[in-house]
Amino acid sequence: MSRGGKRTRSQSPEYRKPEIGIRTAGFGDDYIPFEFEDDNFRTGEDIPRKRKHEEVEEKVSEQKESNRRPRLARYEDGTFTTPWMRNMKSIVPESAARFFHDEVEAFTRYISPTPAENELRRLIVKEIEVYARKIWSDATANAFGSVATGLYLPTGDIDVVIETVHVSSLSKASTQTALMRLANTLRNAGLAERRKIQVIAARVPIIKFNSVHGTLSICREDRADLSPTGGIPIDISINQTNGIRAITMIKKYLGRFPALRSLILVVKAYLNQRGMNEVYKGGLGSYSIICLAISFLQVSLA
Facing residues of 198 across strands? 208
The string of pLDDT tens digits covering residues 77-117 is: 556 677 887 777 655 666 778 888 888 998 999 999 989 89
CA dihedral of 2, 5, 11, 14, whole degrees rounded to 10: -130
Q: Are strands 140-144 and 158-163 parallel, antiparallel or unpaired?
A: antiparallel
Its pTM stands at: 0.68
pLDDT of residue 221: 53
CA 135 to chain centre: 43
Question: How does residue 175 score in pLDDT terms, banded at 50, 70 and 90?
Answer: very high
Q: H or E stretch including 62?
A: helix 53-68
What is the phi-psi region of residue 275: left when phi exceeds 0, alpha when psi lies from -120 to 50, beta otherwise? left
Q: H or E stretch including 292?
A: helix 286-300
pLDDT of residue 22: 45
pLDDT of residue 34: 46
The phi, psi pair for 145, rounded to 5°, reads 75, -145
For residue 74, what is the DSSP state? B
Three-state secondary-structure class, residue 267? helix
Provide, rounded to the nearest whole percent, the portion of the chain with pLDDT above 70. 66
**What average pLDDT does the segment 183-209 reach?**
89
List strands edge to edge, sheet with 158-163: 140-144, 158-163, 233-238, 206-211, 192-200
Question: How does residue 171 score in pLDDT terms, banded at 50, 70 and 90?
Answer: confident
Range from 49-58, 184-193, 213-222, 223-232 that averages highest in pLDDT: 184-193
- Please name which of 224, 173, 228, 227 lies closest in space to residue 201, comparing C-alpha atoms: 173
Residues in the chain: 302
Q: Round to whole Å and give the CA distance between 294 and 302.
A: 12
**What average pLDDT does the segment 107-129 reach?**
93
Which residue type is seen at 4? G
If one compares 120 and 94, the residue with the highest pLDDT of the two is 120
Q: Which residues contact 140 (CB under 8 A, 6 or more apart)?
A: 129, 162, 163, 164
Q: Which residues contact 262 (CB under 8 A, 6 or more apart)?
A: 104, 105, 107, 108
The string of pLDDT tens digits covering residues 1-18 is: 545 555 555 555 555 555
Q: H or E stretch including 273?
A: helix 260-273
**Statement: residue 207 has pLDDT above 90:** yes
- Please name which of 124, 108, 112, 103 lies closest in space to residue 149, comparing C-alpha atoms: 112
